[in-house]
Amino acid sequence: MDLAKQIEPNAEIAARRRAVGLLARAMTNELHAAWEKLPAKPEVKPVRGPETGLVMVRGRIGGGGAPFNLGEATVTRATVLLASGTAGHAQALGTSKENVRLAAIFDALWQEAGTRNSVETTLLGPIEARIAVEDKQKAEETAATRVDFFTMVRGED
């Protein structure tokens, strides 16, 4: 089997996973800003939702053992259809229907060759950068609380 063909769908899945994951983290102001920047607002038909429900969050016994049900989390999801026929899905923790509706539209726009780059530069790029800054800050703040042990010299040598 052709190796390139094997890698390509995986790369495409990884790219979509990244996009969908970033859209789940999008904040209201980021989505609105990107929407405002769209040169032509797409024609959108809602297919499902936005609707809020629950996802049972699972953990693993001992951290890596058999799964168990930890508790639920609120999740909101939406599916939309662009006039071009592309379907967009979005789902995110929380109850913000407006965020998820917009995220689903951007998911559809990201899948279309003509608009993918602009979704990257106006929305996904900024979200990714924001998360990187937040994570770095938190990690550095935590690192400052790391204990540096030192040995007391006792007695005479």
* Polymer length of the chain: 157
Report helix, strand or coil for 152: coil
* Cα(80)–Cα(72) distance, integer angstroms: 26
Is 29 a residue that touches other proteins (CB under 8 A)? no
* Nearest CB to other proteins, comparing residues 7 and 54: 54
Is 137 a residue that touches other proteins (CB under 8 A)? yes
Is 154 a residue that touches other proteins (CB under 8 A)? no
User: Hey, what amino acid is at 103?
Assistant: A
Which of 112, 127, 120, 124 lies closest to 42, judged by CA?
Answer: 112
* Cα(41)–Cα(39) distance, integer angstroms: 7
Is 101 a residue that touches other proteins (CB under 8 A)? no
Is 17 a residue that touches other proteins (CB under 8 A)? yes
* Nearest CB to other proteins, comparing residues 37 and 138: 138
* Cα(32)–Cα(2) distance, integer angstroms: 43
**Which residue reads 């979509």 in tokens?**
16
Question: Using CB under 8 A as the criterion, what x/- string covers residues 49-88 for binding other proteins?
Answer: --xxxxxxxxxxxxxxxxxxxxxxxxx-x-x-------x-
* Nearest CB to other proteins, comparing residues 95 and 121: 95
Kindly list the residues in this chain that would bind other proteins in the complex (CB under 8 A): 13, 16-17, 20-21, 24-25, 51-75, 77, 79, 87, 89, 91-95, 135-147, 149
